[in-house]
Structure 1
Amino acid sequence: MRIYTSKLCKSFSCLFFLLFVSIAAQAQSGSITGTVTTSDGAPAPFVNIIVKELNKGTSAKEDGTFQLNNIREGNYIVFTKFMGLQTQEKAVHVLSGQTVTLDFILTESGRQLQEVMVTGYQTLNEQSTAIGKIAIKPMDLPQSVVTINEEVIARSQSLRLSDVLQNVNGVYQMGNSGGYQEELAGRGFNFGSSNTFKNGYRFNNGIMPEISALERVEVLKGSNAILFGNVAAGGVINLVTKKPKFENGGEVALRVGSYDFYKPSLDIYGSVNNNDKIAYRINTSYENAGSFRDEVQSERFYINPSLLFKPSEKLEVLLEGDYLKDERVPDYGIGAIDYQIPDVPRSRFIGVPWSNYTAEQKTASATVTYKLHPNWQLRGVASAQDYSSDLFANARPNTGGNMVQPNGDWNVNINRSKVNENYYLAQLDLTGKFATGKIAHNLLFGADADKYDTENTAFNSLLNYSTINIFDPNKYEARHDIPDLSVKEIRQNPIGRFGVYVQDLISLTEKVKLLAGVRYTYQQTDENESRQTDDAFTPRFGVVYQPAKTTSIFASYANSFNLNSGIDVNGNNLAPSFVDQYEAGIKNDLFNGLLSANLTVYRIVNSNMAQAVVPAPVDRPTAKELAGEVTSRGVELDLQTRNFHGFSFIGGYSYNDTRYTKSNTYEENSRLRYNPSHTANASLFYTLTSSTAWNGLSLGLSSFYIGDRIAGRNPRLTTPNDTWRTMPVPDFFQFDAHAAYTLNRLTLRVKVSNLLNKLSYYVHDDNSINPIAPRMLSTTISYKL
């Protein structure tokens, strides 16, 4: 891969030119910043701060701080507004290019205080998700739901999606495919591209998404087949990008870190021509980085423009674009030797240095929302996505029988593959609230259609390109020439899918609610001249009992399906495998919403898993049958607090056990690979809000735990020897330390990741063993526009 210094300079120049233009355009305005606290000194989050003369305002963050930018020079009255707290007004004089500090100390109003506890702060159990297609608070949903917001993402300096998901127990990284893709899973099941969404539509997770542009990450655990069709059983992840705002503002930032990491970014938003009908937002970033792995480097560029039109109170149109290019040296780590992880330096790279992985993803989407009635809404989504990748690199160690020898010798083969994929989606949802007598309904009725046009190009491999030794890189002379591989075959794989679904949340009483629905999905899969059609009904049913408004007890059943390739003993296409999911739990908002504590137990059973017929028929040696069974069981605990006297906490624990409970291929009760039995997470942050010189200082410590896992290859009953073996992967704790300081518009964040320099691995089979990153330092400086 070739990464030129000039490209880096140009990207920096462009971003900082945009910064200069943004600052110059706003040089004739000033800012108002400050902190809102209650009479006992605690932060007062979500209080509205409004400039009376401009009818312009903002809301205080969880630590009570606020900032109003782009205020024209002049005299103003600024007042606070929040149910349960007495209104307060203050006069202020704003000068161009200067920031005025304005603090408020508010007194509680006893008459309205109880209302504040219900409406003033959204707890973990009150934040409805966009991915659910209908506004249902998690407290009313018989399903485990977690949302990680922008503040958590920013304060932890999350760089990759796996960093964000460290705050979500039970969802974890199980592999690191070549360093260019994070393999994610939940509840024992892999999250492929069918389980990963951006703004409600699927995206190809062969490319690592950009995190700096995210407003929040939503995780719906368990079954979601009623909403999306054939998705894996463990759950879905939805990335929500930052949306346009009618208030002018933004942020420019620069992140630098260990191993030559540089990442400038820019986020600007505001109204077009200062009207209240059209707003815009542009997020863009550039990343250039080395690695703790020798000879590995990467380069990324991302831009996300969006426009919001509000021509009337009833109609809203959101247009969004998304472009990401990722180029890097693929790194499959090291290979096992006789199913043991070899002892080599953490930094050792055994691939060919000229290898390259280039991926591009382009997306355009339109979301139209129309309010038919105060209680009824019609929402349509259309999106188109183009994804392409080109992988030209050494083969993984230990593939195709080309094993790493006990002395460390390995014959390097060269592979190449290309993928071009176009994805189209159209979706229409009708949502509404109504009553039949004393019974209230929250109805979702919708239909969606999507289509994949995929072209896979395979190249002829080059065998024995070179020989290396993983223990002694100087044993053999390295080759640096780039071979020319010819095309072996091009395979077309179009997929068309249609679904229609209905769901109703029925409130029988204030305490008892039922959620019921069903989806019908039809899918047609073509591969060259072969066509397969599948259809399935996937029901969902759940009951919720709320003895109090702050407590919810639920139980649910849902059914999902997996499509199967191959034929049975009669030569017919295999039918889908159906997966039954059972879930129960309790959700609590304790201490007037200070602490959300949720406990969930689940059982997931794929009782008709596809597996090879044994013994294989002579006339159909590759025949399969739906006779296997995989069972996943587990328990999850989610904890989250709101800001309390400057403190905030997120934590949790999960236990999962996923095994083959019936199989004629694998040993019964054998454990599935890559899935940790235990995961845990905890992060504690403290922000000083008192009027001292240290006001604006924030300190934090976060940790997560990945339990023991197995990799390698599950032993097969059809091969009664040690050809197939599993290998243990050690568990590990990782601790990260955080510090931040905010002064007016400027914020400096520092993070030390893997504080104890722990060593462990993410492993795929026995051929891709990638060590986790060592202790690293990263610093981000950002400026609010």
Structure 2
Amino acid sequence: MRHLFAFLLASSVPVTVLAQRPAHQHSKHHDQTGIVTGRVVQADGKAAEQVSVRVKGTQLGTTTAADGSFELNIPAGWQVLTVSCLGCTPQEVTVEVKAGQRVEAAAVRLAAGEQQLTEVTVTGNKGLNERTPSVGKMPIAPLDNPQATLTIERPVLEQQQALRLSDVLANVAGVYVMGSTGGTQEEIASRGFAYSSSNTFKNGVRFNNGIMPEVSSLERMEVLKGSAAILYGNVSAGGVLNLVTKKPQFQRGGSVGLRVGSFGFVKPQFDVYGAVGQSNKVAFRLNGTYERGDSYRDGVSSDRVYVNPSLLFRLTPKTELIIEGDYLRDNRTPDYGIGAIDYQIQDSRSRFLNVAGANNATNQTSATATLTSHLNEAWQVRAVGSFQRYDNALKSAARPTSIVATPGATYGNWTRSLQRTETAENYFLAQLDLTGNFRTGFVGHTLLVGADADQYDTNTLAYTNPASPSKPTTAVSTYDVINILDPDKVIAQPAERLTDFNSLVRNSLTKGNTRRAGFYAQDLLSLSDKVKVLAGLRWSYQETPSDVYTYNTIASVAAKTANTYVENRRYDNAFSPRLGLVYQPIKTTSLFASYANSFAPNTGLDLQGNSLAPSLIDQYEVGIKNELFKGALSANVTAYRIVNSNQSQSVLPTDPRYTTNFTTSPMELAGQVISKGVEVDVQSRPVNGISLIAGYSYNFTAYEKSNIYEDGSRLRYNPAHTANASLYYSFGNVFANGVLRGLNAGVTAYYVGDRLAGRNNRTLNPATGKPWVDTNNNPINDAFKLIALPNYFLFDASLGYSYERVSVRVKLANLLNELSYNVHDDNSINPIAPRNFSATVTYKL
């Protein structure tokens, strides 16, 4: 491990290596004691978290909270408090403690120490309820927050050799991969709701999740479960995910490494950081990687390049500016999986159904500037400006649908067609937040007031089939015909076929320019040491224009229709309230209950011909957070109920309000979807070299009111149960000296329970509003069916060894060689990876 003292000294960010939980000095009340409160800040005015505050000459002490505050119950009389941390000069504060009274000690501003430190290893020693996620925008200690939060730190990512975001999510109860359409992205969901690009963030800024993010650049991953609409506006009810990248440091250092693995996988990577020249005001960081590999899937390969530069400017002792950018180029084979026949998965791990030359090419570039200024010890202002560019070019066979299911010579035949799209997106964001701590009488306040505005400017060019040479008014749509069970089977091909992707012609250009703005305020009111209330409100405005240009693609059509242009405009606004109550019977236990509201914009027109209003979604949450065994183990339990009582659905033709004046089916907010469940999160600090992460989630998301789906029918893709456990052990506590002191080992287990894919059965035919019948008016069943996906249990094992600056880690994943699938509808059925091996060698600079 590298020396970390220079970084701590230069950045003035104090860290207590062996941080202690608040000590409860007396098992019973003592009349000759008083309460001392105070606050510790860094040299630049920032709150100093996890700083040791001890009563000189005694064993009494505590550590500061996220906002730098502390509280001690100590004997009456004159007492000396010693404030200390790694990399700073210890300071003493004298205070007179009066029996039965509360007294506030003078504020302490830390100063960097001058002494050299011996080598020290800093590990992830914060408990689950000591990590305040930055995505929450407020300096609220997790025990004071009436919401489930979780942070996975860099040491865990390194121990588990996380390669994809799904590897990291295996440590988070209730957040899961719901699909991997086309094999080009990992679709994430929580509590029955999908995480769109509106729910995924990088350094607090939305990013397009149509591409797999790079995990090697992460410092940590933050999860804010449940509604976050008050902070970010249009986000789904399941929660938000924030990826925090590595930050500049003033200490010089870094690493280079190489990861290799099964299926020809190679991934060199580097990370360097330090001060710019001899400056103590400007620091940099640059990390990046190149990756290439084949796959356990026939015909699938990928390569990608990622670079993540950043600069830190200390403009004044109280103001800093961080400029971060990244670039990702990702090329991979689009892969819609192995196919299904009449909603039956045709088991295979390797079957590949795409065409030669298929490619999904993505480039993503972003730049973010974050200015933080401490106006004084109580107030801080933060401004963020960001730009993101996203370009994607897809050339692929269409998804495998309409596969012949009739027994006979053509059983399993599939007529392949081609698809081609080009997407370009510019994203702009501006955000301003003011946070502060103050008191009004006996009530303490932690206040957030903010505003944000963003804009998506998207152009999507779609291609379609060309005109037939022999029948100019029709189109050629077939590329070829194959048999999915035997791709080498010889099948007669049609006379007129598409030759390649260049055969396709431009069909439409869709220009979107979504503009959003929001104003919000949130206040944590500390009514007493035990009772706190979090209340807030946001107003959001969203404008969604969509202009569609349609090209006359078949030039010889008799009517000779010209290119057409359709302009669409939507204007939505919504209020998102939040109210939460926290009760702490003791310092290490927190009970909470909360209500929050979010919204989801809809498409279509209502019965009056107006744009359909947004759906408003109510969320209720209760839970308990515990710090056990003096903070060695954190255990949180959360129960929730999410109700979308105005789900968008079509008005059926049999409805008396339905008229033929509508060119498309009118919509109404009359359906209802309910999600309910329980989540358990457990984390430990490293104790005697052992660290543990575990969790369990149960979720049931179903239609409760619908005019075409059966009440109580489950929504697709959401596992009823998930469970995770990761146990890591460092042998340094046993072999303090010798060659074995650098040895470490870990195991990770992840269980995904029963899920559904396919398509939900419809009780009525939406085209008629009546039960299903055949051409002779005989009753039949809906053609849609559900697919029950197999449960699976992943078991991984890792072994690592570090000696001086060199470390080696090996990992065996899916040791039991479990087989299951991530499925979208019935046309993107992607098997999970089989048993595989990887090894990483790293040299620290």
Output the TM-score relative to the length of structure 2: 0.80
Cα 1:641–1:618 shift into 2, 3 Å: same
Counterpart residue number, 2:111: none
Indicate which of 646, 659, 664 corresponds to 2:707.
664
Q: State the 1:666 CA deviation.
A: 1.1
**What does 1:581-596 correspond to in 2, within 5 Å?**
581-596=619-634
After superposition, give the CA deviation of every residue in 1:497-530 in whole Å (9 maximum; x if it has no partner).
Answer: 1100000000000100000000000111101112
Counterpart residue number, 2:351: 348
Tell me, in whole angstroms, the C-alpha distance in 1 between the residues paired with 2:178 and 2:11: 50
Q: Verify the 8 A CA contact 1:256 1:778 in the aligned structure 2.
A: yes
Counterpart residue number, 1:705: 751
After superposition, give the CA deviation of every residue in 1:578-633 in whole Å (9 maximum; x if it has no partner).
Answer: 00000000000000000000000000000001000012532224111000000000
3-state DSSP of counterpart to 2:574: strand
Q: State the 1:483 CA deviation.
A: 3.3
Counterpart residue number, 2:366: 363
Q: Does 1:392 align with 2:395?
A: yes
Q: Verify the 8 A CA contact 2:310 2:324 in the aligned structure 1.
A: yes
3-state DSSP of counterpart to 1:152: helix
Tell me, in whole angstroms, the C-alpha distance in 1 between the residues paired with 2:279 and 2:376: 25
Counterpart residue number, 1:469: 483
Q: State the 1:402 CA deviation.
A: 5.5
Cα 1:53–1:272 shift into 2, 3 Å: closer
Q: Does 1:111 align with 2:58?
A: yes
Tell me, in whole angstroms, the C-alpha distance in 2 between the residues paired with 1:482 and 1:428: 50
Counterpart residue number, 1:177: 181
Amino acid of the residue matched to residue 367 of structure 1?
T
Indicate which of 410, 413, 421 corresponds to 1:409.
413
Cα 1:755–1:580 shift into 2, 3 Å: same
Counterpart residue number, 1:778: 838
Tell me, in whole angstroms, the C-alpha distance in 1 between the residues paired with 2:13 and 2:594: 42
**What does 1:283-302 correspond to in 2, within 5 Å?**
283-302=287-306
Cα 1:593–1:381 shift into 2, 3 Å: same
After superposition, give the CA deviation of every residue in 1:157-186 in whole Å (9 maximum; x if it has no partner).
Answer: 111111100000100001011110111100
Indicate which of 647, 671, 677 corresponds to 1:628.
671
Q: State the 1:112 CA deviation.
A: 4.1
Q: Does 1:197 align with 2:201?
A: yes
Cα 1:287–1:159 shift into 2, 3 Å: same
**What does 1:100-179 correspond to in 2, within 5 Å?**
111-112=58-59, 114-115=61-62, 121-179=125-183
Tell me, in whole angstroms, the C-alpha distance in 1 between the residues paired with 2:207 and 2:405: 36
Tell me, in whole angstroms, the C-alpha distance in 1 between the residues paired with 2:11 and 2:382: 30
Q: Does 1:509 align with 2:528?
A: yes
Q: Which is worse superposed, 466-475 or 403-412?
A: 403-412
Q: Does 1:304 align with 2:350?
A: no
Counterpart residue number, 1:499: 518
Counterpart residue number, 2:37: none
Q: Does 1:327 align with 2:331?
A: yes
Q: State the 1:274 CA deviation.
A: 2.1
Counterpart residue number, 1:566: 604
Q: State the 1:574 CA deviation.
A: 0.2
Counterpart residue number, 1:729: 789
Amino acid of the residue matched to residue 836 of structure 2?
M
**What does 1:55-74 correspond to in 2, within 5 Å?**
none
Tell me, in whole angstroms, the C-alpha distance in 2 between the residues paired with 1:204 and 1:195: 10
Q: State the 1:417 CA deviation.
A: 1.1
Counterpart residue number, 2:762: 716
Q: Does 1:605 align with 2:623?
A: no
Could you say which structure has the higher strand fraction? 1
Amino acid of the residue matched to residue 713 of structure 2?
S
Gaps of 5+ in 2: 20-49, 71-84, 86-124, 466-475, 548-566, 766-771, 773-780
3-state DSSP of counterpart to 1:474: coil
Indicate which of 793, 804, 810 corresponds to 1:750.
810
Instruction: Tell me the percent identity.
Output: 53
Counterpart residue number, 1:486: 505
Q: Verify the 8 A CA contact 1:50 1:57 in the aligned structure 2.
A: no
Tell me, in whole angstroms, the C-alpha distance in 2 between the residues paired with 1:32 and 1:416: 49
Q: Verify the 8 A CA contact 2:479 2:499 in the aligned structure 1.
A: no
3-state DSSP of counterpart to 1:164: helix
Cα 1:388–1:509 shift into 2, 3 Å: same
Amino acid of the residue matched to residue 619 of structure 1?
N
Tell me, in whole angstroms, the C-alpha distance in 2 between the residues paired with 1:483 and 1:677: 41
Tell me, in whole angstroms, the C-alpha distance in 2 between the residues paired with 1:276 and 1:196: 34
Output the TM-score relative to the length of structure 1: 0.86
Q: Does 1:619 align with 2:657?
A: no
Q: State the 1:410 CA deviation.
A: 1.1
Tell me, in whole angstroms, the C-alpha distance in 2 between the residues paired with 1:380 and 1:428: 5
Tell me, in whole angstroms, the C-alpha distance in 1 between the residues paired with 2:603 and 2:245: 35
3-state DSSP of counterpart to 2:315: coil
Q: State the 1:653 CA deviation.
A: 0.3
Tell me, in whole angstroms, the C-alpha distance in 2 between the residues paired with 1:536 and 1:530: 20
Q: Does 1:693 align with 2:746?
A: no
Gaps of 5+ in 1: 1-30, 34-47, 64-80, 87-108
Indicate which of 566, 570, 578 corresponds to 1:540.
578
Tell me, in whole angstroms, the C-alpha distance in 1 between the residues paired with 2:245 and 2:57: 39
Q: State the 1:56 CA deviation.
A: 10
3-state DSSP of counterpart to 1:163: helix
Cα 1:82–1:382 shift into 2, 3 Å: closer
Q: Which is worse superposed, 712-721 or 316-325?
A: 712-721
3-state DSSP of counterpart to 1:567: coil
Counterpart residue number, 2:819: 759
Q: State the 1:276 CA deviation.
A: 1.1
Amino acid of the residue matched to residue 515 of structure 2?
G
Q: Does 1:673 align with 2:716?
A: yes
Q: Does 1:261 align with 2:265?
A: yes
Q: State the 1:482 CA deviation.
A: 2.8
3-state DSSP of counterpart to 2:62: helix
Counterpart residue number, 2:564: none
Q: State the 1:693 CA deviation.
A: 2.4
Task: Give the number of aligned pairs.
Answer: 700
Counterpart residue number, 1:22: none
Tell me, in whole angstroms, the C-alpha distance in 2 between the residues paired with 1:262 and 1:705: 28
After superposition, give the CA deviation of every residue in 1:753-772 in whole Å (9 maximum; x if it has no partner).
Answer: 00110100111101111000
Cα 1:265–1:226 shift into 2, 3 Å: same
Q: Verify the 8 A CA contact 2:403 2:413 in the aligned structure 1.
A: no
